[in-house]
Chains A and B, each alone.
Chain A
Amino acid sequence: MRNFILRRLLQTIPMLFLASLLIFMLFALTPGDFIDGNVTLTAQRAAELKALYGLDQPVLTRYLRWLGQLLHGNLGFSLQYQMPVSQLLNQYIWNSFLLAVISMVLYWGIALAVGIVSALKPYSLFDHVVSVVIFAAMSFPTFFLCLLLIKWFAVDLHWLPVGGMTNTGSEATGWAWAMQVGAHLILPVVALVMLQAGSLTRYFRASMLDVVSMDFIRTARAKGLRERTVIFKHALRNALLPLITLLGFELPALFSGALITEKVFNWPGAGHIHIDSLAARDYPVLMGFTLFLAVLTILGNLIADVLYAWADPRIRVKS
């Protein structure tokens, strides 16, 4: 098992390098940069600033310098916010994390529960209603769903706040702050859960249906085990196997911030920063953040593989 992990880790290193190269090239080769965005500068001043930030160097040199900084743990320096990228991200990433982790728990929970019930009674009324709801939820464009939610619940009914994480100009702390955040969380979480619960439920339902028709379930029943035991001990463990890999892929999503949702709800998260940096062409932030996400993706892949190997004895125990 340890060898397996080590081998996979070694494989990821070249991937990381390639990813960093690709990311850097993408941003470096885009015409225009942060300095260009500021129209008030004279040409001479602009040139001075560029020299100061090393933006006038050839591409390869810049890449190597950036890489060197990375290996020292320095993600770069934001030109727009005038602070280290890591510090900038740290400020906002945890807001995204909050949103993501709550949504994730909810939609995994819903998917499991609904998937189990759906598979136990396939083609029943419940199953059909669930399928319809799932298709509807999966087909909404993200931003449209968010807009609708805001319009109905915030603007028209005034039940929930329109956006942001706290009430504007609020100085609340402690419990009052938590209550505010809680209220502001509701709509974005609903949007995220609606969008993602659907496909996961279908996936899980299909897996359960597959498993429930397998021979060993018949054996379990033939042994006279209670139906509850058959489903939860025998069927579920097998049906969850393919989903374990999905769990690994959720890692980057936990920190990337749901770009569009955060923008529409004005949620101060990593996604918001991402879009702002894009508009301002603050490439250090973009590069650092994208690389961070790429690392998380690769790590997530690795975790998914390891988890799967751990869970499935057929892979784990090579006789």
Chain B
Amino acid sequence: MLSSLFSSQRRLRKAQIPALAQVTPSPLHQAWTALRRNRLAMFCLMLLVVMGLWCIFGPMFSPWRDEATDALMINKAPNDQHWLGTDFLGRDIYTRLLLAGRISLIIGLLTMLLSVTLGYLLGALSGYAGGMTDKIVMRFADLMMTIPSLPLLIVMGAMLSELDFSPDSRVYMVIIMLSLLEAPKLARLVRGQILSLRERDFMLATQVLGLSSRRRIFGHLLPNTVPILVVMATMAVANAILSESALSYLGLGVVPPMASWGNMMDAANSLIDFQRRPWLWMPPGIAIFLTVVAINVLGDGLRDALDPKMKRG
């Protein structure tokens, strides 16, 4: 059923008639080619992949373990042994940065997956079903959006501390919280898209052709939502990373000893560390910044590539 989203018929026909392969690339393929031509976006994609791999595999190559505290080496500036210096427990900042990256990036990705799945399902259901279902779902989404999100997140974060979750399970809770907050906005977007697509002539044509509901939804309607889905997903990752870092900075998201880029910046709260030891809090901030910039640029490039309307001239 999933393959029908990408039209296996087309692939079958292409296999049978080689000439067809040159003449008609699918819209997704066209978008990919367009994206490839956008050098800046491709650079950002590479950057993100490299960062991800570095965070995952980097710590394995570092001589320092996260738990390796060293009372003699506390608060040292960057040097040969510790590329980014050490913190108040003598832990190597560089390794910590990479480990924190794992957490922050994973939270970003998983939040995106969860919120996009939830938002998409809700929005699509709402948009296609219409009527009472639509009204209820949208009222609920509106309600969620009425309450300012950062305070709500902070409250939920405080609740987590109150309920005394272990640092590990906190990560999952953070993911769930962030997803629950993002999903209504995404649902609205998807619903809007579905509503406008439903009225288009090509959907009328599918009705006239007498296609089954299943074919109409999965073969025609939903594939047209892929562009907005892709763009939404990239934005969701960026948002998630920023939100998680803010929460963790306030001490309400990921808590030590587990490192995330946000809570590593908590060092800035002490005046001495802030003034004299920038290596403690600047690298995580820069890491977040680079990641989010790359995602934003990539997202913009994706939007350009997927937009069928001519952007230039």
Contacts and interface: CB of A to CB of B under 8 A. Distances in A.
Interface stretch (A42-50, A52-60, A108-116, A252-260): A252-260
A177 interface: no
B143 A19 contact: yes
> What is the predominant secondary structure among interface residues of chain A facing chain B?
helix
Interface string A127-169: 0000000011011111110011011000100000000000000
Interface stretch (B1-9, B15-23, B145-153, B195-203): B145-153
Contacts of B54: none
Contact of B158 (A30, A135, A138, A263): A30
Interface stretch (B123-131, B170-178, B214-222, B274-282): B274-282
Contacts of A290: 147-148, 151-152
Contact of B146 (A15, A26, A144, A260): A15
Interface string A237-257: 000000000000000100010
Interface stretch (A64-72, A92-100, A291-299): A291-299
A197 to B, nearest CB: 15
Contacts of A30: 155, 158-159, 162
A297 B249 contact: no
A274 B295 CA distance: 31
Interface residues of A, number: 40
B27 to A, nearest CB: 22
A203 interface: no
B296 interface: yes
B274 A144 contact: no
Interface in B225-263: 238, 242, 245-246, 249-250, 262
A293 B151 contact: yes
A147 B281 contact: yes
Interface stretch (B62-70, B79-87, B179-187, B285-293): B285-293
Interface string A5-33: 00000000001001100110011001110
B13 to A, nearest CB: 37
B14 to A, nearest CB: 35
Contacts, number: 109
Interface string A57-90: 0000000000000000000000000000000000
A173 to B, nearest CB: 30
A195 B196 CA distance: 32
B137 to A, nearest CB: 14
A300 to B, nearest CB: 10
Given A26-B155, A31-B163, A144 B289 contact: yes
A144 B285 contact: yes
A143 B296 contact: no
Most chain A beta carbons < 10 A, residue from B143, B146, B246, B275: B146
Nearest to B268: A147
A216 interface: no
Contacts of A294: 146-148
Nearest to B44: A135
B39 interface: no
A51 interface: no
Contact of B246 (A15, A141, A274): A141
Interface residues on B, range: 35 or more
A290 B285 CA distance: 30
B246 A142 contact: yes
B244 to A, nearest CB: 10
A138 B292 CA distance: 9
Contacts of A123: 312
B105 interface: no
Interface in A282-309: 286, 290, 293-294, 297-298
Given A140-B289, A142-B246, A144-B288, A15 B142 contact: yes
Contacts of B163: 31
Contacts of B100: none
A154 B159 CA distance: 35
A235 to B, nearest CB: 18
B154 A275 contact: yes
Contacts of B297: 135
Given A139-B238, A278-B155, A151 B293 contact: no
B280 to A, nearest CB: 11
A259 B150 contact: yes
Given A148-B285, A155-B274, A290-B148, 7 more contacts: A18-B139, A139-B296, A140-B292, A278-B154, A278-B155, A286-B155, A297-B148
Interface of B: 139, 142-143, 145-148, 150-152, 154-155, 158-159, 162-163, 238, 242, 245-246, 249-250, 262, 265, 268, 274-275, 278, 281-282, 285, 288-289, 292-293, 295-297, 300, 312
Interface of A: 15, 18-19, 22-23, 26-27, 30-32, 123, 135-136, 138-144, 147-148, 150-151, 155, 252, 256, 259-260, 263, 274-275, 278, 281, 286, 290, 293-294, 297-298
6 contacts: A15-B143, A31-B163, A151-B278, A252-B148, A286-B155, A297-B145
Q: Sort A-B residue pairs by CB-CB distance and give the 8 closest, nearest first.
A: A144-B285, A139-B292, A139-B293, A297-B146, A294-B146, A141-B245, A147-B268, A141-B288
